[in-house]
Amino acid sequence: MGRLAPLSEEPNINEEEEATNRSSKGILRSTQTWRNWIKTHLPSLALFNKRSDFKVLLSVLGCPLFPVSAHPKLPLNEQVSSTAQYIIQHFTAATGCRKLEGKVKNIFATGKVIMAMVDEPGPGGASSSSTATLSEKGCFVMWQMVPNKWLIELVLGGHKVAAGSDGNVAWRHTPWLGVHAAKGGVRPLRRALQGLDPMAIAAVFSPAQYMGEKQISGVDCFVLKLSADQTDLTERSDSTAEMIKHVIFGYFSQRNGLLVHLEDSYLTRIQSPGAYPTYWETTMSTKIEDYRTVEGVMIAHAGQTNVIITRFGDNLKMGAAITRLEETWTIDDLAFNVPGLSMDCFIPPKEVQKDYPKKNFDWRSPLH
Q: How confident is the model at residue 291 (pLDDT cuts 50, 70, 90)?
A: very high
List C-alpha distances in Å: 300 to 34, 264, 332: 38, 19, 11
Mean pLDDT of 283-298: 96
H-helix or E-strand containing 15?
helix 15-20
List C-alpha distances in Å: 91 to 79, 96, 107, 210, 281: 19, 8, 19, 14, 30
Most confident of 1-15, 288-302, 312-326, 339-353: 288-302
Contacts of 126 (CB under 8 A, 6+ apart): none
Q: What local confidence, expressed as pLDDT, does residue 272 receive?
A: 84
Q: What local confidence, expressed as pLDDT, does residue 297 receive?
A: 95
Poorest-pLDDT segment among 15-24, 106-115, 149-158, 348-357: 15-24
Measured between alpha carbons, how far apart are the two ends of the chain, in Å?
A: 20
